[in-house]
Chain A
């Protein structure tokens, strides 16, 4: 009888939790940087999103919504980009777990825990910052600012908005680190490469690089003592 046959046979929950905790914290330097970048991006994205979700409908004028959308753009882009960078580590962990015999669902959950944790923590920090600082910020804003009425909401609305923000940002990060997003990204890149502009770029880029190299060499030569 083999070692496994003598064991209980079921995937133990305690082990799954301990393994998940070990997989959450990255050990490699580059993976750690990616995870921290994702957390900060999520915090940046959460700032306008929390305000938008907490604001009463009556306060959401066109100017206000446009302003919030513009404010959310850098954070959302950075979150999508940082999460997409974690695609390889996420799929790598999933494959390693599946190869070791983990059940499909638990392997998926363990592999996504890092993206969820760092995005969730970042979004939570961003949302809490808005909740803590919305009152002094409101006082600083001029009366005609479209943001001012958006910040005039109660504690319950802020709490609900915070929860919704964390969920939305985490879902967005999961989507951006998914194989579907990777496929979309590849298609977009292929479409970009097919554009006439990209052909111009292909010609201009090497010329630009050569000019820069020549300029740097010339500057170095000028600095060199004779």
Chain B
């Protein structure tokens, strides 16, 4: 897998949040089409804040966020929301679904909010549930479902609008290794086949190893410095393109862009 092109799907430069830089300072990132990139950092490193800044849920105090060649950081809140509905898929650390709706209806919700008709949204939701291998649970209510199914449903909801970019906060957290491997494989293959850029935020090196490249987030700064070998499980996802051992040998895309 090559480095992001000159015109990456997501290009972040010098992101600062808040103004004093106590959470994020000088965050640089670039994610290309079809690429899965892990943002790896310990708890409290600012991963969720970074995800919120990239999704437009928080306003960064400085820096630029370009998505698909558009200045996302300059958009007013309403335009950000519309842009997010069209081009972003979001997976939250604490994924919540509406228990009053079925799984398929929950997955179809982003499309319904974007104005897509009920039948078409449901068809699309069923397609994505099938791709994540949970089509049989489409009409299930969301109480007491296993975590594996909830994680898959969260990813299906993020992918349902054919996004350019998926921002996934700990999408494999709490899953047994085998399930996480399978889901990581599915995610990689979907990213490749749909050309979706996936940015995955995690504190687990094993999860980061399932992505094609890793960017470390430490004390609010990104760096492509090698992750200690002892903490990384360099397990290549089967069926996905061979990742380059958590990108430790690769230069940061930003450095490359410079």
> Is the CB of B115 closer than 8 A to any CB of chain A?
yes
The answer to whether A8 touches B115, judged by C-beta atoms less than 8 angstroms apart, is yes
- CB contact list, A5-20 vs B, under 8 A: 5, 7-12, 15, 19
> Is the CB of A97 closer than 8 A to any CB of chain B?
yes
> Is the CB of B98 closer than 8 A to any CB of chain A?
yes
Q: Mark B77-111, 1 if CB is under 8 A from A, else 0.
A: 00001101111001010111111110000100111
> Is the CB of A201 closer than 8 A to any CB of chain B?
no
Smallest CB–CB gap between B106 and chain A, Å? 7
Q: Mark A79-98, 1 if CB is under 8 A from B, else 0.
A: 00000000000001101110
The answer to whether B115 touches A99, judged by C-beta atoms less than 8 angstroms apart, is no
Most chain A CB atoms below 10 A, which of B97, B100, B118: B100
> Is the CB of B157 closer than 8 A to any CB of chain A?
yes
Contact of B81 among A2, A22, A103 (CB under 8 A): A103
- A5–B68 Cα gap in the complex (Å)? 14
The segment from A25-33, A129-137, A146-154 that touches chain B is: A25-33
Smallest CB–CB gap between B98 and chain A, Å? 5
> Is the CB of B143 closer than 8 A to any CB of chain A?
yes
Most chain A CB atoms below 10 A, which of B84, B96, B111: B96
The answer to whether A7 touches B116, judged by C-beta atoms less than 8 angstroms apart, is yes
Q: How many residues of A contact B (CB 8 A)?
A: 29
- CB contact list, A96-110 vs B, under 8 A: 96-97, 99-103
> Is the CB of B141 closer than 8 A to any CB of chain A?
yes
Contact of A9 among B96, B114, B162, B163 (CB under 8 A): B114
Contact of A28 among B90, B96, B143 (CB under 8 A): B143
The answer to whether B86 touches A5, judged by C-beta atoms less than 8 angstroms apart, is yes
Give every chain B residue within 8 A of A103 (Cβ-Cβ). 81, 113
- A168–B109 Cα gap in the complex (Å)? 34
> Is the CB of A68 closer than 8 A to any CB of chain B?
no
Contact of B98 among A3, A23, A101 (CB under 8 A): A23
Give every chain B residue within 8 A of A2 (Cβ-Cβ). 86-87, 161-163
Give every chain A residue within 8 A of B85 (Cβ-Cβ). 4, 9, 101
19 contacts between A and B (CB under 8 A): A2-B161, A3-B162, A4-B116, A4-B162, A7-B111, A7-B114, A9-B85, A9-B115, A11-B114, A11-B115, A15-B112, A28-B143, A92-B96, A96-B96, A96-B98, A96-B106, A99-B90, A99-B96, A99-B157
